Amino acid sequence: MTTTKTRDADKAAGNEPITYREAMRAALRDALTRDDRVFLMGEDVGRYGGCFAVSLGLLEEFGPERIRDTPLSESAFVGAGIGAALAGMRPIVEIMTVNFSLLALDQILNNAATLSHMSGGQVGVPLVIRMTTGAGRQLAAQHSHSLEGWYAHIPGLRILAPATLEDARGMLWTALENPDPVLIAEHGSLYGMAGELPPGAGAVDIDRAAVRRTGSDVSLITYGGTLPKTLDAAERLASEGVQAEVIDLRSLRPLDDATIMSSVRRTHRAVIVDEAWRSGSLSAEISARITEQAFYDLDAPVGRVCGAEVPIPYARHLEEAALPQPDDIVAAAHRAVSGDA
């Protein structure tokens, strides 16, 4: 009988395309197989297979001790994950959406992020929290915001944003080896993205940004769910004579300043694409760092393409209008290149 495990193995071997959610599932399976201390907990991760089908079939493979359905209480099960990490386990906690993570903000900010510091390094919290972020799926305001930039403000946390199949497959194990808590922000629009994984795909570096496309005229800096839109915009710009370099941040805390500044010093122009709200955003932090570190290399002001400062609408046409789109990125890049920012 064909099972989820055998189908996933066939795809991971490169015999057919694999989706982002299947790459995440392969990462979970790999971690659970490698280390008996690893377990997954969260709402509907077991019998239902995860709200986004990431953990489908894992309950049957690993049993209820390691794939644990929890009550609908983010504060309680994140707290349980922190306690398990303190006791030597390697918990993976899934929060359905980043909006709901705010119900566990006290646990994440006041406990997970601070215990190593407050204990003088005597205890670590090797906890991984996975959460779905972002809009574009008509799930309305309580399920659609991009709040990972808020968490990138907090010392003691590491924030990751896998935007490719390789990173979806490879970031989890590296995160589990980290002694500090790691939040992985998975953009909901990426789960169905399909492609091929290279043979032997596994753990990846989580410290460095990646240049996804080289260019000489403007640096487009982005992460997560806006990477495909930014790459699309770069293709369109190329057809119009503008060579855009695309930087995928990958890690939102810590930021890889070296890769960002190296790109800006080559292109002399930067546009930051961030689905989150503009005011007090991660894009504002990156813009400030570029101004601090590479001001004299700039030939134009740093541009930003961000989400509209409204609760994400439900209606599709309004949701699309509220989010950065390729047209917006193309226009911002042309303003930077022309000096008309």
Residue 2 has pLDDT above 60, yes or no: no
Q: Looking at the structure, do residues 73 and 181 belong to the same domain, yes or no?
A: yes
Please state the φ and ψ torsions of residue 187, each to the nearest 5 degrees. Answer: -70, 130
pLDDT at 339: 75
Residues acting as catalytic residues: 74, 143
Spatial distance between the Cα atoms of 105 and 220, rounded to a whole number of angstroms: 31
Q: Looking at the structure, do residues 34 and 66 belong to the same domain, yes or no?
A: yes
Task: Give the pLDDT band of residue 22 (cuts 50, 70, 90).
Answer: very high
pLDDT at 183: 98
pLDDT in tens, 223-241: 999 999 999 999 999 999 9
Q: Is residue 70 part of a domain?
A: yes
Q: Looking at the structure, do residues 33 and 152 belong to the same domain, yes or no?
A: yes
Q: Looking at the structure, do residues 156 and 286 belong to the same domain, yes or no?
A: no
Task: Give the pLDDT band of residue 200 (cuts 50, 70, 90).
Answer: confident
Q: Looking at the structure, do residues 313 and 184 belong to the same domain, yes or no?
A: no
Q: Is residue 237 part of a domain?
A: yes
pLDDT at 201: 85
* CATH number, position 239: 3.40.50.920
Q: Is residue 205 part of a domain?
A: no
Domain termination site, one of 195, 219, 236? 195
pLDDT in tens, 293-315: 999 999 999 999 999 999 999 99
Q: Is residue 203 part of a domain?
A: no
Q: Looking at the structure, do residues 261 and 182 belong to the same domain, yes or no?
A: no
pLDDT at 14: 55
Q: Looking at the structure, do residues 334 and 247 belong to the same domain, yes or no?
A: yes
Which two structure tokens, joined as six digits, stand for 311? 């609760």
**Containing structural domain, residue 109:** 4-195
User: How many domains in the chain?
Assistant: 2
pLDDT at 150: 95
Which two structure tokens, joined as six digits, stand for 150? 């808020």
pLDDT in tens, 235-270: 999 999 999 999 999 999 999 999 999 999 999 999
Q: Looking at the structure, do residues 10 and 151 belong to the same domain, yes or no?
A: yes
Q: Looking at the structure, do residues 191 and 241 belong to the same domain, yes or no?
A: no
Q: Is residue 126 part of a domain?
A: yes
Q: Looking at the structure, do residues 228 and 261 belong to the same domain, yes or no?
A: yes
Q: Is residue 82 part of a domain?
A: yes
Residue 5 has pLDDT above 90, yes or no: no
Of all residues in the chain, what percent carry a pLDDT higher than 90? Answer: 91
Task: Give the pLDDT band of residue 7 (cuts 50, 70, 90).
Answer: low
Q: Is residue 202 part of a domain?
A: no
Query: Which of 10-19, 172-181, 269-278, 330-339 shows the lowest mean pLDDT across its residues?
Result: 10-19
Contacts by 108-113 with C-beta closer than 8 Å and gap 24+? 108/78, 108/151, 108/154, 108/157, 108/181, 108/183, 109/154, 111/79, 111/82, 112/78, 112/82, 112/156, 112/157, 112/181, 113/154, 113/155, 113/156, 113/157, 113/181
pLDDT in tens, 139-155: 999 999 999 999 999 99
Domain termination site, one of 131, 161, 195? 195
pLDDT at 10: 59
Domain termination site, one of 164, 195, 226? 195
Task: Give the pLDDT band of residue 13 (cuts 50, 70, 90).
Answer: low
Residue 9 has pLDDT above 70, yes or no: no
Q: Looking at the structure, do residues 122 and 33 belong to the same domain, yes or no?
A: yes
* CATH number, position 80: 3.40.50.970
Q: Is residue 242 part of a domain?
A: yes
